[in-house]
Structure 1
């Protein structure tokens, strides 16, 4: 999301404000946003390459469920949409981005795990996703064992694909690609029989105009993925504010509206909005 140009007058006011802050001594690091909201900007981490969740579009704008959630939360923190700067935060760099203060918070298919909670704090969860399969709409794959002898696609090193191959369908023929976009293309041209990752991610791809009606989710719920909003470790105040914003988003109907808008074309059967602080564990 591009920021508005700063006028000469507002630049002068900003310079005076910064000067006054410097003279007043050290101030708390606010993670690249102003402390009061409204007057400045806020940097928020998202994915740039996940349709339906976090996608940078050709015109430079952003779209997806995570984007809608982040925008709603920022509004409740005091930042209008034109005061948001979305920053790409790839999975491997999310913890570091928060620790460095590159972003104030991250909404990027960020599953809450005990390991990650050692490094960052989480607000939420705001979506309960599940590992699932995406197939062609006319495919006859209704359970995990149907993948035996079939070609299964996921990204290189994916734990989702390894989970299927080790525990569910050991005779599945795993094909690993660099991106899920490549997997979806392979599914479309028949090079693979199914793609596996979080159902929310699969639904986002399937909901794109060029794929509408061509794919379907198997609805197997092979794992529970509790998406949370990552915040710098120790920033309890921001976690509390975000949690209140998420509760309001559910209460006023905006949460369901965002789900329908971003996943609806794929017939995504979402779980009800999770309760703040309640993590749904995996079976066993």
Structure 2
């Protein structure tokens, strides 16, 4: 009887130990499957550009965001595996070089100077400098009408310089830290127009609920690219991104993303350049 009782106790102990081991293994396995994964794509975007890259109540929206999601999905990442990070203009090259992000879609124009520091895929959009005016404005139909007018642009931007040098030397310039501040100045009548890339202006117009409009006569071309780190694998990475952009254009998702993010503004990208052929880096 004593032996039987002892045997039962030993058996119960062994079973308990096995169960404990199994539970630990199970938890470890579950943790590996559903916990944090290194299968994450870090994408730099703007957080303050309505219609392009905009952070709102913990979510992200805009044309750049939609293109980034499409590319990520084509590369094998789910939406949950995309980590969006703010990419201010002055920090974009450093973020790529330091590995803070895997790619950047943040109204990032492809230029020879930037290509010295980073590589690009794309372009996925060709913007053009344009003007944003009040919806009831009749006297401004293009940059040539800005002489004697008050124009707003962001501090350090070359947009206002282009207007002054090429079209209206007598324009009065007001500089603000961001385009949202320029839009506010336009709505309140402090300035007569805002200038930068047309798709940025279209986003501001959409946010104004019909109070602002884009003139619709772009006078420059800005080729938006996907910035990636310059390394031994960048050419292959660029090719995969370009394939995804081509697929987005082919399926109509590219055009739908434009329409969704500029809804109600009447904005149409310049058909002479859009949709573009993504061939950078190939």
Q: Structure 1 length as normaliser, TM-score? A: 0.83
Matched position secondary structure for 1:85 = strand
Aligned-pair CA distance for 1:218: 1.3
3-state SS, counterpart of residue 113 of structure 2:
helix
Match of 1:186 in 2: 185
Q: In structure 2, how many angstroms separate the alpha carbons of the residues matched to 1:10 and 1:95? A: 38
Partner of 1:222: 219
- CA RMSD in angstroms comes to 2.0
Residue 262 of structure 2 corresponds to which residue in structure 1?
Answer: 263
1:121-200 alignment runs, 5 A limit? 121-139=119-137, 140-200=139-199
Gaps of 5+ in 1: 1-6, 16-32, 35-39, 280-284
CA apart distance, 1:177: 0.9
The match for 1:74 is: 72
1: CA distance between counterparts of 2:44 and 2:30?
26
Gaps of 5+ in 2: 1-26
Distance in 1 between residues matched to 2:97 and 2:107, nearest whole Å: 18
**Residue number among 263, 271, 278 corresponding to 1:276 in the alignment:** 278
Corresponding residue number in structure 2 for 1:203? 202
Q: What is the aligned length?
A: 249
Q: CA deviation at 1:9?
A: 4.1
Shift of 1:145: 1.8
In the TM superposition, what whole-angstrom CA distance separates every residue of 1:14-48 from its partner, at most 9, and x where no partner exists? 99xxxxxxxxxxxxxxxxx96xxxxx211111010
Residue 13 of structure 1, CA deviation: 6.0
TM superposition outliers: structure 1 runs of 4+ over 2 Å: 7-15
- Kindly state the Cα deviation for residue 166 of structure 1 after the two structures are TM-superposed: 2.1
Contact kept? 2:120, 2:280, Cα under 8 Å: no
Q: CA deviation at 1:10?
A: 4.2
Q: 2:152·2:174 contact (CA, 8 Å) conserved in 1?
A: yes
**Residue 249 of structure 2: aligned partner:** 250
Larger Rg: 1 or 2?
A: 2
The one of 13, 20, 31 equivalent to 1:11 is 31
Counterpart-to-counterpart distance in 2, 1:265 and 1:110: 25
User: 1:236–1:155: structure 2 CA closer, same or farther, 3 Å change rule?
Assistant: same
Q: Is the 8 A contact 1:154 1:176 kept in 2?
A: yes
Q: How far apart, in 2, do the equivalents of 1:224 and 1:212 lie?
A: 27
Moved more, 162-171 or 195-204: 162-171
Structure 1 residue 106 and structure 2 residue 142: aligned?
no
Q: Distance between the aligned counterparts of 2:28 and 2:217, measured in 1? A: 57
* Cα offset, 1:93, TM superposition: 0.6
When residues 137 and 104 of structure 1 are mapped into structure 2, their CA distance, relative to the original with a 3 A threshold, is same
Give secondary structure in 1 for the equivalent of 2:43.
Answer: strand
The one-character-per-residue Cα deviations of 1:43-68 (angstroms, maximum 9, x if unpaired) are 1110100000000002x010000000
CA distance in 2 between counterparts of 1:10 and 1:122 reads 38
